[in-house]
Structure 1
Amino acid sequence: MNSISDILSAVDDLLHGFEPSPPSLARCYTEAQIWDNAPLWAILSQGAQHHADKVAIKDAVRELTYRQLLEQADGIAKRFQEDGLVMGDRVVIQLSNTCYFAIAFFAAQRAGLVPVMALPAHGLAEISHFFAVSQAKGYICERILESPESLEIADTLSMSDNSLTHIYAIKHHGKYLAFHPSSQPGFTPPKVIPEHPALFLVSGGTTGLPKLIPRTHNDYLFNIRSCVEVSDITANDIYLAVLPAAHNFTLGCPGLLGALSKGGQVIFSTQAGPDHCFDLIENHSITATALVPALAQLWTEASEWETADLSSLRLMQVGGSKLAYSDALAIQTAFPKVLQQVFGMAEGLIACTRLGDAPAIIAAKQGCPVSKWDEIRIVDNAGNPVAIGEEGELLTRGPYTLRGYYRAPKHNQVTFTDDGFYRSGDKVRMDEDRYITVTGRIKDVINRAGESIATDEIEAHLLCHPEIAQVAVVPVADTHLGERIGVALVCKGEPLTLQNIRHFLKSKNLAAFKMPDELHLVHSLPKTAVGKIDKKSVPGPNGKPWMLNTYR
């Protein structure tokens, strides 16, 4: 049996490095009834109360009703407790889009554990970093039957010096703990504090390795509820989870949690291609989904020859990176009256167009904040507010926007203003109706197929290569991906190939989605007046500047 002292110790450790909302704002949000002061798992318990025998989740091989999902989650939660995990302990969850994701997520919530939401594409470098920052004790992964290498991260972590004490490998019956419900009857969830972290989302890694984003029970429930309202989610909706379920977009904007919060149904898919997903839409009468621009473009093209009945689809959210105006028009032609542009961040603020907006607005703008409580500042380079319609950096604060990255004090000093506004790094314009148009970005990142990739992380790895003298990683415009990863480098000796550098980065355990797409060898890299590499002037293979601003 876990002792009170173990729980208090775990909770105290959880709060070390967590920046809560100031008490005055917390009181304001509670008095305004925008914070529910309820646990995040109330989504499931209320669903089981009101929709017990309705199918809640389904994947290619199984389905669970709300009652069954709660029973499965509670059985696993009790197993966690029996294995010695206590409320406040962190666990890293790295699972693909199947029913196991929902079971593991809600089991962690019911046990009072705080999951770090890793993506399936994250490699050993990122997962190790998550453990180093969070001091997580648990790792929930899966054995992919057709991939014998799928447990390599778990194998390496188990032999490393870290905080890890519990590894659960789904679909695996070897040396790791079984992901099976407890055989003992009865389970009572511990009483969590709603202003404490409920989960950690991960940043896009705009400066090096991803940061951990603490989201509390209160703020994430409000995030979900606000997105549900502006997307008109009801119990009749059937949501298709195509993008990784651990993504904020797929998880809670409104995502799978939004659908479950209203008594809807969630269909998990491990494939995102239009041929597979169009069949799912027809066979399950799917009404809502979320895509990144590259995938939305692919679906739009496929709609010209695919014959599946897609008439049930009423909401297609597109976000993760800016949707090109021409693509937005094409989507609206292929899928009339379903497009909703979404601009947001795992750190908090979500803005979106509304389904009743004029097609021209949906095509041209990225949306209006989902809550009137979202505070927005658009500022110039000196930090001064700009006039309505003028370009500047977006700063935001509100009841579901973080007050600081987890255990990242130095980064927080430059990322947040003294009065708690988050500096997004996005350049935007905002009109009189608070509709936002994204015009560019300040942070040095590449948005590839919806993933925000820090260029300095790739550069730091490449500069460790003994044959590389100088390197610049830059975004290159791409019709399908939005941007692809371009690398310009100066070699010390024999010229390197793209295959050489990808192999080298793989040896550094860099995630697959961060691998360069193009390589250009140069004799020298252009410099600014202060001696820094001038990325805007880095020449591409045609001799012209390679870095293109795809927002213009």
Structure 2
Amino acid sequence: MTSHTRDGAVPWPPEDAARYRAKGYWEDKPLGAYILEAADRFPERTALVDGDARISYRELADRMDAAAGRLLDLGLRQDDRILVQLPNCWQFTVLTLACFRAGIVPVMALPAHRQFELSYLAELSESRAIAVRDTIKDFSHQDLAKHIAAGTPAMSHVLVSGRVDQGNVDLDALLAPGGDPINARKQFDAAAPAGDDTACFLLSGGTTGLPKLITRTHNDYAYNIKATSAVTNVTADTVYLGTLPVSHNFPLACPGILGVLFAGGRVVMLPSPEPGKAFAAIEREGVTLCTAVPAVVQRWLEYRQETDRQETDRQETDQLETLEVLQVGGSRLADEIARKVKPVLGATLQQVFGMAEGLINMTRLDDPEDVVCTTQGRPVSEADEIRIVDESGTDLPDGVAGAILTRGPYTPRGYYRADEHNARAFTPDGWYGSGDIVERRPDGNLVVQGRDKDMINRGGEKISAEEIESLVYRLDAVTLAAAVSMPDALLGEKLCLFVTLKPGTALTLSDVQESLRRTGVAAFKIPEKLVVVDEIPTTKVGKINKKQLREEVARMLQASGNTG
């Protein structure tokens, strides 16, 4: 069939694709097939846990195929897109697998996204449907989804988990088991998507405006999952706790919920990494593997140490007895925090540095402490190519920090329908530049030093300075705006906004925050500090000097006694 999604994607060069197939990296097998293989091996094992819900592999396969059929009954077809904005729940997993099975493409939105981001994503992807929880923390995602659907010409269905308004589709019912799993399986086996077809759209961390769509195919994403699973030693005995938003690549497929389900292990869904709930889930389910961002790790360490001080019988400190591996990524983990993980939490730390655009680096489980605590690992695949270059694109020797370039069998060659941005982010011969500044040690491990792009990394959530600045310019009082990162002990970075104003006007932080809330921007993107200045410094070529502004923020924090 002609693939509309493939029309907007950038393919791998034929010679590279042939090499990846010859080496066995690409198996030309759809993602749903790996789930069915696990279900055939372990039909009665528990695959998925979400609160009181416990779903076996037999039931998971049944729900997956039945839901795929019901999506087609709604009028969706292979290669149609569905915008998925669900929290960590069994519904997210089953819907995603059903989409893989039917060849429908899930667009992985975040629960934190609001009208501003969702409208853009729906339009760019031409989504035919949107899937949401009815409410989360008193916010009506159902009302928002109806508004998005009304403003998106291609969108004809709102799928809702929970209380369902008239005219919308009951997602929980759509994901129910079917009546004829054998024939359903035959139907979808016969019409399975090809390995080169788009499996899903992930979102970029974008430094230039709104997120870009990252096209992940069945071939490249399956290899991403298998390669990271091998390094993390995922087996059928693995019990994985998903607490980070699972629409992110890290908890979804590195190896995440998909890697554990491929292997026949058990996935435990939890909507929040709050330590009391997370530790209880680890103890209750015998969790062996978790993923976290540095801010979460710090909270877990503080909670565990406080519990140790309070407990006399030390019963509570046994909650993490089964936890073997704690993966940490999303942003750089401070070395001093890294050294506390094993002694305090009892788990082996695995540092992860990667990107939804492809390349994943990990420390190995048997690496010495120096590597585990002071580096962000090395590529998970022998086929990952890496260059460290200076500003002119010249390769640098080991031990010298520079910009990282990469390509490989699970690093796509361009964003979806983003020719102008692709020309900046990718070299003509297919190397992707993430904007990260890294140093490669002689042993091949990478040390992340920072970024060369203008992006704020707030606890693993990436905020485009350009996006926020463009929204702030809607305020009449603002003549010039510059968003920069501000050090924060818990989140790593927060967003600080510098502005100059028109004569005779005034602006407060509350004014800015309220304006952005009315715009419908995600809450994590709202500035937490405002600095009104007479003049914003510029470089010799007239660009805003963000480096100088970041230094000014650091001086202000130091003067106030807050060093971040």
Normalized against structure 1, the TM-score is what? Answer: 0.94
For the residues of structure 1 that align with 2:248 and 2:556, how far apart are their CA atoms? 36
User: How far does residue 339 in structure 1 lie from its aligned partner after superposition?
Assistant: 0.5
Q: Identify if the C-alpha distance between structure 1 residues 518 and 51 changes in structure 2 by more than 3 Å, giving closer, same or farther.
A: same
User: How far does residue 143 in structure 1 lie from its aligned partner after superposition?
Assistant: 0.7
User: How far does residue 43 in structure 1 lie from its aligned partner after superposition?
Assistant: 2.4
* Paired residues of 2:149 and 2:157 also in contact (CA < 8 A): no
Greater CA deviation, 85-94 or 534-543? 534-543
User: How far does residue 256 in structure 1 lie from its aligned partner after superposition?
Assistant: 0.6
Answer yes or no: is 1:23 the counterpart of 2:14. yes
Answer yes or no: is 1:470 the counterpart of 2:480. yes
User: How far does residue 431 in structure 1 lie from its aligned partner after superposition?
Assistant: 1.8
Paired residue for 1:382? 392
Q: Cα RMSD (Å) of the superposition?
A: 1.7
Answer yes or no: is 1:435 the counterpart of 2:435. no
Q: Name the aligned partner's letter for residue 29 of structure 1.
A: Y
Aligned pair count? 538
Greater CA deviation, 178-187 or 231-240? 178-187
User: How far does residue 145 in structure 1 lie from its aligned partner after superposition?
Assistant: 6.8
For the residues of structure 2 that align with 1:248 and 1:145, how far apart are their CA atoms? 22
1:122-521 alignment, distance < 5 Å: 122-144=113-135, 147=138, 149-174=140-165, 175-179=167-171, 180-181=173-174, 185=180, 186-187=183-184, 188-189=187-188, 190-306=191-307, 307-309=316-318, 310-492=320-502, 493-521=504-532
Greater CA deviation, 174-183 or 482-491? 174-183
Greater CA deviation, 146-155 or 424-433? 146-155
Q: Name the aligned partner's letter for residue 170 of structure 2.
A: A
Q: Name the aligned partner's letter for residue 456 of structure 1.
A: E
1:41-190 alignment, distance < 5 Å: 41-144=32-135, 147=138, 149-174=140-165, 175-179=167-171, 180-181=173-174, 185=180, 186-187=183-184, 188-189=187-188, 190=191
Normalized against structure 2, the TM-score is what? Answer: 0.92
User: How far does residue 340 in structure 1 lie from its aligned partner after superposition?
Assistant: 0.5
Q: Name the aligned partner's letter for residue 334 of structure 2.
A: A
Identity of aligned residues (%): 38
Q: Name the aligned partner's letter for residue 518 of structure 1.
A: K
Q: Name the aligned partner's letter for residue 28 of structure 1.
A: R
Deviations 1:479-536 (A, max 9, x none): 1000011111122244222211111011111111111111122122112112222122
Q: Name the aligned partner's letter for residue 302 of structure 1.
A: Y
User: How far does residue 355 in structure 1 lie from its aligned partner after superposition?
Assistant: 1.3
Greater CA deviation, 242-251 or 178-187? 178-187
Q: Secondary structure at the match of 2:282?
A: helix
Greater CA deviation, 277-286 or 301-310? 301-310
Deviations 1:367-404 (A, max 9, x none): 01000100001111100101121111100000000110
For the residues of structure 2 that align with 1:31 and 1:308, how far apart are their CA atoms? 50
Greater CA deviation, 139-148 or 297-306? 139-148
Greater CA deviation, 271-280 or 165-174? 165-174
For the residues of structure 1 that align with 2:63 and 2:473, how far apart are their CA atoms? 48
For the residues of structure 2 that align with 1:524 and 1:423, how far apart are their CA atoms? 33
For the residues of structure 1 that align with 2:65 and 2:261, how far apart are their CA atoms? 17
For the residues of structure 2 that align with 1:97 and 1:147, how far apart are their CA atoms? 17
For the residues of structure 1 that align with 2:431 and 2:260, how far apart are their CA atoms? 30
Q: Identify if the C-alpha distance between structure 1 residues 391 and 81 changes in structure 2 by more than 3 Å, giving closer, same or farther.
A: same
Paired residue for 1:3? none
Q: Name the aligned partner's letter for residue 521 of structure 1.
A: V
Q: Secondary structure at the match of 2:214?
A: strand
* Paired residues of 2:86 and 2:92 also in contact (CA < 8 A): yes
Q: Which runs of 5+ in 1 are unaligned?
A: 1-7, 547-552
Paired residue for 1:4? none
* Paired residues of 1:44 and 1:260 also in contact (CA < 8 A): yes
For the residues of structure 2 that align with 1:233 and 1:276, how far apart are their CA atoms? 24
Q: Secondary structure at the match of 2:321?
A: coil
For the residues of structure 2 that align with 1:250 and 1:149, how far apart are their CA atoms? 25
Q: Name the aligned partner's letter for residue 262 of structure 1.
A: A
Deviations 1:2-55 (A, max 9, x none): xxxxxx4xx431111111111111111111111111001122111211111111
Greater CA deviation, 374-383 or 495-504? 495-504
Q: Identify if the C-alpha distance between structure 1 residues 529 and 333 changes in structure 2 by more than 3 Å, giving closer, same or farther.
A: same
Paired residue for 1:549? none
User: Which protein has the bigger helix share?
Assistant: 2
Q: Secondary structure at the match of 1:477?
A: strand
Q: Name the aligned partner's letter for residue 343 of structure 2.
A: T
* Paired residues of 1:238 and 1:264 also in contact (CA < 8 A): yes
For the residues of structure 2 that align with 1:244 and 1:543, how far apart are their CA atoms? 34
Greater CA deviation, 463-472 or 151-160? 151-160
Q: Name the aligned partner's letter for residue 524 of structure 2.
A: F
User: How far does residue 147 in structure 1 lie from its aligned partner after superposition?
Assistant: 2.3
Q: Name the aligned partner's letter for residue 403 of structure 2.
A: E
Q: Name the aligned partner's letter for residue 50 of structure 2.
A: D
* Paired residues of 1:282 and 1:308 also in contact (CA < 8 A): no
Paired residue for 2:311? none
For the residues of structure 1 that align with 2:88 and 2:221, how far apart are their CA atoms? 21
* Paired residues of 2:341 and 2:347 also in contact (CA < 8 A): no
For the residues of structure 2 that align with 1:473 and 1:269, how far apart are their CA atoms? 33
Q: Secondary structure at the match of 1:151?
A: helix
